[in-house]
Amino acid sequence: MQIAPEIAAMLAGTGASSDPVAPVLIALVLIAAGAALGGHWMKKLGQPAVLGELLVGMLAANLAYYFREPAITIVREGPTMLNVIHAALEQNLSLAEAAAKLLPAGEHTRQLVEILGSAAAPMAVSVFLFVDQLARVAVIILLFLVGLETSVKEMRRVGVAALAVACIGVVVPFLLGVRFMAVMMPGAPLEKDIFIGAILTATSVGITARVFRDLKQAHRTEAKIILGAAVIDDVLGLMILAVVSGLVVTGTVSVVSISTITLKALVFLAGAIGVGMWVTPRLVRRLARLELENVKLLFGLGFAFLLAWLANAVGLATIVGAFAAGLVLEEFFLDELKGHSLRDLLSPLETLVVPVFFVLMGMQVKLETFADARVVAIAALLTVAAIAGKLVAGLGCSPKLDRLSVGIGMMPRGEVGLIFASIGKGLGVVSDAVFSAVVIMVMVTTLLTPPLLKMALARGDRRAT
């Protein structure tokens, strides 16, 4: 009679015939409605829609957390929750046990463990996993679209400038970070400072790409330079992580393994562009013979997903692969396939899923982190280093361009910084306070970019006219 409670629930009108997708549906409706309203308000204020999505997510999640809403408490954990799920499956623990084991002891963890052990957990976890993956798919679609609006020729034209911006934007924040940490925590071993410097290097280009799209400025040379620099950034980031973790773990740097990593990444990028431009038109000619509905859309997205997967396999970010796919696919390759242009076909999908990514990003801004004065002090220093370093990077491009906008566009940090920080935490070189400070730095650079970039672009336009 094990299932008897389910029948009781059924007789009460919910339960047995309950479709597990129902909570996901209502979550999507709420996210879409919030995104639409937030975007609408911000547009009225002359701001990019993405800022509204971030703010709506932030407000809703912090309010719901205050009332201990299970699904949102779990969604707010973001990557941390994924780590918990990963650990639970690999070590054959329940989620509650894994959370208790993995997260720092405290009131916050106690609440999370309680929720993960409660009857609300199945619904909350399934909503989290679906919405989190959907957001990741969404940002891949966004970067693919951005790539579609850029040609390989244009990227080659901005190549040198992008390289300069990327290199300055990696070196300056790194040096500033090391220096600030040496002042803030004198006596700490140098490798600790070096690790924290490394955390400040990697740009996260999703926000910037979206702001340029919101403002219909994606065709500008500044946008192309930022995108090129972000791709180079990602390769540099791989090398830096290999160097600093080598230093911390073994005290030495393995030249062979670092060369291997770098080579793999470069081969992927060159291969994707070279092979892609050669293979795609031929493949399309064959596909045109099959009678498939919406074949253009299927092929385009399939190609983007495939390159994103490949990029991940060589250690790069999935969005770098998606961007490369867009870069390689020229609209005229697809002329033999029937139907609207790929960009038009993707527009409904973009509207539906891309806001999910930014609302979720907003939901993971934890206001309670700002309650610890010491953390806020470290965060302020890290944020200054992070922002100043990337603003200086803007000087890497020609003075004829809007260098301030390029610098601001490089500002946002994201997952890569958090991944560096969590590895550092595992290695014992990043303390809990510094980790929280990194989280604040990521949140602040994310929230500041849309309004600042909008202001900088308007100012640049005024000067130009």
99 or 158: CB nearest a copy of itself: 99
Cβ atoms of residues 450 and 425 within 8 Å: no
346 or 392: CB nearest a copy of itself: 346
Q: Min. distance of Cβ 165 from a copy of itself in angstroms? A: 21
Q: Which pair of tokens denotes residue 282?
A: 């031929």
Q: Min. distance of Cβ 63 from a copy of itself in angstroms? A: 22
Amino acid at 46: G
**Virtual torsion, Cα 349, 353, 355, 360, nearest 10 deg:** -170
Tell me, what DSSP letter sits at residue 104? P
56 or 140: CB nearest a copy of itself: 140
Distances in Å between the alpha carbon of 163 and those of 59, 272, 396?
38, 19, 8
260 or 398: CB nearest a copy of itself: 260
152 or 239: CB nearest a copy of itself: 239
Cβ atoms of residues 48 and 210 within 8 Å: yes
CA 2 to chain centre: 44
Q: Min. distance of Cβ 154 from a copy of itself in angstroms? A: 25
Q: Min. distance of Cβ 56 from a copy of itself in angstroms? A: 14
Q: Min. distance of Cβ 308 from a copy of itself in angstroms? A: 6
Q: Min. distance of Cβ 67 from a copy of itself in angstroms? A: 21
- In this structure, the number of other CB atoms found within 10 A of the CB of residue 346 comes to 22
Cβ atoms of residues 381 and 165 within 8 Å: no
283 or 367: CB nearest a copy of itself: 283
214 or 402: CB nearest a copy of itself: 214
Burial 193-210 (b: 16+ CB within 10 A, else e): bbbbbbbbbbbbbbbbbb
109 or 151: CB nearest a copy of itself: 109
176 or 356: CB nearest a copy of itself: 356
Distance CA(296)–CA(302), nearest Å, equals 10
Q: Min. distance of Cβ 199 from a copy of itself in angstroms? A: 13
Q: Min. distance of Cβ 407 from a copy of itself in angstroms? A: 25
106 or 339: CB nearest a copy of itself: 339
Distance CA(20)–CA(250), nearest Å, equals 48
Q: Min. distance of Cβ 144 from a copy of itself in angstroms? A: 11
Q: Min. distance of Cβ 210 from a copy of itself in angstroms? A: 13
Distance CA(385)–CA(367), nearest Å, equals 22
Distance CA(196)–CA(204), nearest Å, equals 17
Concatenated DSSP letters of 387-444: HHHHHHHGGGS-TTS-HHHHHHHT----HHHHHHHHHHHHHTSS-HHHHHHHHHHHHH
Distances in Å between the alpha carbon of 306 and those of 198, 215, 412?
30, 29, 26
Please name the residue that has the structure tokens 């220093």.
381
- Largest alpha-carbon pair distance within the chain? 79
DSSP H helical ranges for 94-205: 95-102, 107-116, 121-148, 152-157, 159-184, 190-199
